[in-house]
Amino acid sequence: MPRTRSLQKALFEVAKAVNSTLSVTETLNALVESATKATGAKACSLFLLSPDSKDLLRSAYYGLSEEYITKGPVKAERSIAEVMQGTTVLVKDVTTDPRIQYRREAKKEGITSILSIPVFLHQETIGVMRLYTKDPHDFSKDEVEFASSIANLGAIAIENAKLYESLRSSYEEIRQGVLSWYDILLDKPRPTSFGHPSEAEFARILDFYHILWVYEPRSFPITWDNGNVTEMFTPDFYLPTLDMYIELTTMRQNLVTDKNRKVRRLKELYPNVNIRLVYRKDYFRLLARYGYGPLKEAEMSRIDKVLFTAFEIEERVTQLGEQITLDYKDRQPVFVGVLKGVMCFISDLIRHVSLPVTVDYMAISPYRTETPGSVAIAKDLEISITGRDVILVEDIIDTGLTLNYLLSYLGTKKPASIKVCTLLDKRARRLINVPVDYVGFGIPDEFVIGYGLDYDEIYRNLPFIAVLKTEDSLSGAW
């Protein structure tokens, strides 16, 4: 074990490694590799307990041969059973100690001593970390405490990685309201109080925009003294869909200075952790930068609820583009967008179509109650679609009257085929059963705005789709 560099510096390196990823597998691999290098051992392995606590399930290893790794299962009740009771165990000579199951294999591997350390989580032993040395080694008290600190850091990192993966894997069910993500992840009710009113306000804003959040999700060690953690930093929020931690602050300078210090320290120790220090006045600007919300708080008052976030829209548009790519393989379709509401949708859609495509636009005269008349083409196509495969792209379809007219009109130009792709489908108002081949989202019979859709020529630039809170809303597009 090295004496030339401080244990504190080595512990910093381990902390950086195990907190550099939110993948469980990558966390385990980083832990055993960094533990081996920090301690100067020959190798390191990590075993987690099986559900019945009878077997040690090998989770990760570093510095061991494949032959030794596959020698056979490790039984908890035979191999260093006292470790499972929370005791650190040192085997000085693997060839003579009866607690070692595979003495012959260990000798062949070049292993002489093994230090086995319990891995604790919430005061329970969840596994064992083992350090292997080539030469006989009598681990000192400082070395044992240092190795135990590594194991405890690993337990925290494993829990955080599992928390993150649980959220990501359950995201779709959570979004649909089938599961409660707080029940799944934290097994406790949503917080009823916050440390500061600004935190409660920020949580309300996140809920408004359907942004998943975890309050005070994890604590990062940022200061040590002789291997012992002396200071932790717990950010206020974690936003899983953005993979971002948020620390809120007020205008009180003493708090700002201290929080800035902690954020800088965290970034130094955990460079792959994305964290932001945010003032109250910056809430909406931050969310707007990542595709959520208008820039001004006042604009929220006109919105009743958010139907689909920017994240959900991006995910669905990507899926539509990939499906169209498969359906039109070896062809060059013409995308025809119906202005103006379709502008955001068609621009994003074609970026996810991996084919050579052509794009053109049409516009029709809007329906006016004060001057009723027949539908008219306000802007016609500029290219010929004769003999071409056409995909008519709409922002929203409800009654089907406009779409039926457009399909009939485009049919006179003798295309090889016509299919319809719409971002939104409001089937509750359908009057004509028009064919729709690709649908982004089905929506209720409400007036929607955002992502290209307007109310009185405003709200088109909102990155999400929402229901407008107004008494005299129009019924939607015809």
Q: Which of 236, 395, 398, 425 is catalytic?
A: 398
Q: 222-260: buried (b, 16+ CB within 10 Å) or exposed (e) per residue?
A: bebeebebeeebebbbbbbbbebbbbbbeeeeeeeeebe
CB atoms < 10 A from the CB of 37, how many? 17
Residue among 345, 319, 356 nearest 423 (CA): 345
Q: Is 398 a catalytic residue?
A: yes
User: What is the DSSP-derived secondary structure letter of residue 314?
Assistant: H
Give me the residue label for tokens 């089938």: 178
**Beta-ladder partners of 279:** 249
Give me the residue label for tokens 């006292």: 82
Q: What is the DSSP string of 123-186?
A: TEEEEEEEEEESS-----HHHHHHHHHHHHHHHHHHHHHHHHHHHHHTHHHHHTTSS-HHHHHH
Report the C-alpha gap between 220 and 158 in whole angstroms.
13
| Strand, coil or helix: 371 | coil
In this structure, the dihedral spanned by the alpha carbons of residues 102, 104, 107 and 108, taken in order and rounded to 10 degrees, is: -110
Q: What are phi and psi of 53, to 5 degrees?
A: 65, 20
Give me 39's structure tokens: 């301690």
Q: 430-462: buried (b, 16+ CB within 10 Å) or exposed (e) per residue?
A: eeeebebebbbbebeebbbbbbbbbbeeebbeb
User: What is the DSSP-derived secondary structure letter of residue 28?
Assistant: H
**Beta-ladder partners of 358:** 334
Q: What is the rounded end-to-end Cα distance, in angstroms, of the chain?
A: 76
Strand order in the sheet with 358-364: 377-379, 358-364, 334-338, 389-397, 417-425, 438-442
- Looking at the annotation, which residues are catalytic? 398
